[in-house]
Structure 1
């Protein structure tokens, strides 16, 4: 009887948490501070950034179906918030030049050393795995933009 009450309690809790959902990271259109509105981003780099980076590093996340299941949705929301705190391409133009240059240095390092995108992301999002060509294009673009901001 005691085990049955515990199981019922767990089931009720599991259903109840489904109604506590984090706000979605989705905005209308492109932000006025979006990197593409202020700096030249080659088409191949922009495509790679959108596929491999923007879910966690912009104001527009494309959510998978399982993000509607709690506590997975909470975990994803936390992950996206951490990503945006670290770098947000949608708000990039609002960064002071020194910070922007440093972020670009980190972008180049992250793709060159292959620690971004995260393995936990690419396990499910196979299309987000950067080819060597994509990594090189992003790193080259980031370094060039970094240099231009230093002037």
Structure 2
């Protein structure tokens, strides 16, 4: 016997409510050796990168609603795992060189910040001047003022 629409709706409401019981870790661990640079450079990173690539994530209200909370927590976990500006000084020199190269490539290819992030965070989109500042830092460590 097929379920009627009312039973399906009740089942969906119960399922969504049960999903809210799954705990999500939204803690920001301590910053141990943050990245250094000119004020303008750091402002770009904070605006466009830090939510996923630092321990200074700003968790929006919707990060408390499953299943969106699961996706955000996963993105932050993965981002921190690959590159964490809050631990930049803890990385060995050769890893910093490798990460700088990857950062430059991602910025040049328009991969970072990802499209789905700046759909919600319009201010995170990198302008040409922002990209040039990041490129300079990634290439030779310089972070020129605008």
Give the stretch that moved more between structures: 117-126 or 12-21.
12-21
Residue 3 (structure 2) aligns with = 2
Counterpart pick for 2:26 among 24, 30, 44: 24
Aligned-CA RMSD value: 1.8
Q: Which residue of 1 aligns with 2:91?
A: 95
Distance of 1:66 and 1:32 partners within structure 2: 28
Q: Which runs of 5+ in 1 are unaligned?
A: 147-151
Whether 1:72 aligns to 2:74 is: no
Q: Is 2:32–2:90's contact at 8 Å kept on the other side of the alignment?
A: no
1:9 CA drift (Å): 2.4
- CA contact under 8 A between 1:22 and 1:77: conserved in structure 2? yes
**TM-score normalized by the length of structure 2:** 0.87
Q: Which runs of 5+ in 2 are unaligned?
A: none
Shift of 1:87: 0.5
Higher helix share: 1
- Retained in 2: the 8 A contact 1:35–1:90? yes
Q: TM-score, normalising length from structure 1?
A: 0.85
**Number of residue pairs aligned between Structure 1 and Structure 2:** 140
Structure 2 equivalent of residue 51 of structure 1: 47
